[in-house]
Amino acid sequence: MILKKALFTVAASTLAIIMAAVVWHTHNPLPAIYPHGPSTLVTASNERTLRSFGDQQGVHRYHVTPKDVDQFYLNALLHYEDQWFYYHFGVNPFSLLRAAGQWIRNGRVISGGSTLTMQVARLIDPHSRTIGGKLHQIARAIQLEWHYSKKEILTFYLNLAPFGGNIEGVAAASIRYFDKLPVLLNKNEAALLVVLPQKPSLYRPDRYLERAKTMRNKVLSRLQQGKLLSSEQYQLLRKESVKLHKDPQPTLAPLLSRYLKQRYSNAHKLTTTIDYSLQKRLAALLRHTSTHLPHKASAAIVVLHNPSAEIRAYQGSIDFQNASRFAHVDMVRATRSPGSTLKPFIYGQALDMGLIHSKSLLSDIPANFDGYKPQNLNGHFNGPISAERALQKSLNVPAIQLLNRITPARFEHNLSRAGIEFSHKKANLSVGLGGTGTQLLTLAKLYRALASNGYVAPLKVLSHDLNLQSPTSILSAQSSWITFQMLSAQSAPDRVVPSIRRKIAWKTGTSYGYRDFWSVGVSPDYTVAVWVGRPDASPMLGYLGATQAAPLMFDAFDLLPPDSRKLIRPQQVTNTIICWPSGLALAQVSKDSCDSQHQAWTINHATPPSMNINGDFTTFSSWPEKLSDWLNTKKSPSQPNPRSATTDATTVDTGIAITSLRSGQHYYRSQLDVLPLRSSRQVDVNWFINHAPQKKPELKLEQYLGKTIVSACFRSQCDKHVIYIHP
């Protein structure tokens, strides 16, 4: 009878406890593990930190799992804090009884009885240090064990443990104190991070170095007693000083990181495709460039790896710390007028449509396209000119001549199929000269097609992005290769010969009103896109894409490794001798109808006849009518008739050379006041000193000292010399 009563009492008590537990659990569900949202870490491809974002409370926490942490640290943590972690149900009764006995005997807490699970419970649901609070903590710990696995609970501790200030989690602490990932911790560093969460405000190594060393050695001693360290290891390790990383990490790609944080707001970690070393050097390059730019001017650069379509570098402003240059504005994604940067794709589409070959005769003359009258930047016209030379010189009328034949709607539709979007109400001819809006990132994506057989692919910026969307063709392999050859045949700006020689197809652009300056270059392996200007869209009069953006683009190319690929000429592309004025192959015209011969890249040997200004093909061997009329008005003793007007790289010299000085010369203020500036061109020359435009062709020595850069530009061509001025 007594036994039955005892069993009944035990069963009733157990049932009551279970029912009470159920009721308590129902009214006290587990709180959110990260109630203030995630703290997000954005890293480069090598896991180095680019930028970190705290949670809603400003706490920095970099999410890791046990596999991301050094195994010695995990062993040391469990040995020091909770040896029975994998065996108890959240509470270790023996540890609690030991701690309670010590408290009763000494009147104070000697050692804690909390398991790792109980510590996680306190971190997610803080409680008072009373008996009631301890019971609450125990209940929470049992709750955690019921809902989560041991691996998940250990992961919570690794990410929630406090390490001083606004640093939580072993990963944030490892990076903050030692500048390394937690998987790379050495034994001394691991031991320090094991004990630091016990009293983070008192043991912080950046404030209390000796105290931190003492507590670290306490952990090492315990590990030696537990056979995790040999006596020899212990004696060596305890003598080592605490070595901290004191230099703050630079913030790299801050605007890209901000964009990713906004887009993936619930992510704990975002690993990008950014090359850490390249990004760091690119940031330094732009900071140096800022010293040569006018007030409020900024710059942006994006670098793509063509084979993978990965973004390897992304600098949205010239210096993230410089508020006077609107550093918070991401100019990689800002919508601006692209200037002349869309012209290569007009020529590429014209090649695919069979309208031109690389040396087709085009007309750079005054023209009226249904009321639209394009002008060149310098207001002058060149007359007859080849497609290749017109593209290199970025002439406006020939580009509109082709776009008018293609039609703006068709041109835009072909690009929009690949996700290349522009900002304007309706497709029109002005789009070809920058009468629209687009982004630097879009231009980089577009130009990459010239080294990718004409295919536009989605750009990849996150390493885990599968990039499932298929590439879309905007140009044939043949026209993209020919366009690449036309753009790469032009010489680079006067500059120091780079250590790595590479073939670069490049194009510059200057928007209306001198507000935006562009340069985009493509090599077989890389695409580099540059924007320079003022984020507030105020003009920078006297500047050009060729003088501002192009040098920066080539400097960025110099930071890149050698190209591993070569662009293979498609079999359908052949080198054909053609004749002007007809534009046809030499074999198709009579000898007396061939005023001049040119080597042209053709597709399938097709040699379309020359076009009149309105886009109609001319008759067999005649000069385009409007071009012939214009040439007749320009007759001179040296140019008596249209047949002598083979101006493509023959009678028209479009280059420029500085003649009054040469690079490397030294000048002294004590001997000279003013240095006249002269060039091979007498008119329409724009002079720049240290990249700043000059009203008069002269250099006043009193205004300069040391290395001085003098540039002269005619149309889109520039010559640059470096001189040295002494007192």
Residues annotated as part of the active site: 81, 340
DSSP label of 603: E
What CA–CA distance (Å, rounded) separates 25 from 17? 12
What CA–CA distance (Å, rounded) separates 323 from 326? 5
- The CA-CA-CA angle for residues 213, 217, 219, to 5°, reads 120
Strand, helix or coil for residue 129: coil
Sign, Cα dihedral of 698, 704, 705, 710: negative
Amino acid identity of 303? V
What CA–CA distance (Å, rounded) separates 123 from 617? 79
Largest CA distance in the chain: 136
- The secondary element (H helix, E strand) that includes residue 408 is helix 408-416
What CA–CA distance (Å, rounded) separates 529 from 332? 9
HEC states along 360-403?
A: CEEEECCCCECCECCCCCCCCCCEEEEHHHHHHCCCHHHHHHHH
DSSP label of 706: E
Retrieve residue 717's tokens.
Answer: 């061509």
Q: Please give the C-alpha separations between residue 696 and each of 688, 699, 704, 707, 725, in angstroms, as whole numbers.
A: 10, 8, 16, 20, 19
Among 209, 206, 111, residue whose Cα is nearest residue 164: 206
What CA–CA distance (Å, rounded) separates 322 from 210? 39
What count of other Cβ atoms lies within 10 Å of the Cβ of residue 331?
A: 27
Which residues sit opposite 315 in a β-bridge? 301
Q: How far is CA 562 from the centre of its chain?
A: 19
What count of other Cβ atoms lies within 10 Å of the Cβ of residue 389?
A: 23
Strand, helix or coil for residue 542: coil
- The string over 202-228, giving b where at least 16 C-beta atoms fall within 10 Å of a residue's C-beta and e elsewhere, is ebbbeeeeeebbebbbebbebbbeeeb
Which residues sit opposite 52 in a β-bridge? 41
What CA–CA distance (Å, rounded) separates 699 from 27? 83
- CA quadruple 277, 278, 281, 282: dihedral, nearest 10: -150
What CA–CA distance (Å, rounded) separates 399 from 597? 23
- The secondary element (H helix, E strand) that includes residue 632 is helix 625-633
End-to-end CA distance of the chain: 115
- For residues 506 and 549, the answer to whether their CB atoms sit within 8 Å is no
What CA–CA distance (Å, rounded) separates 580 from 622? 9
List of residues 6+ apart from 418 with CB closer than 8 A: 449, 456, 471, 472, 473, 474
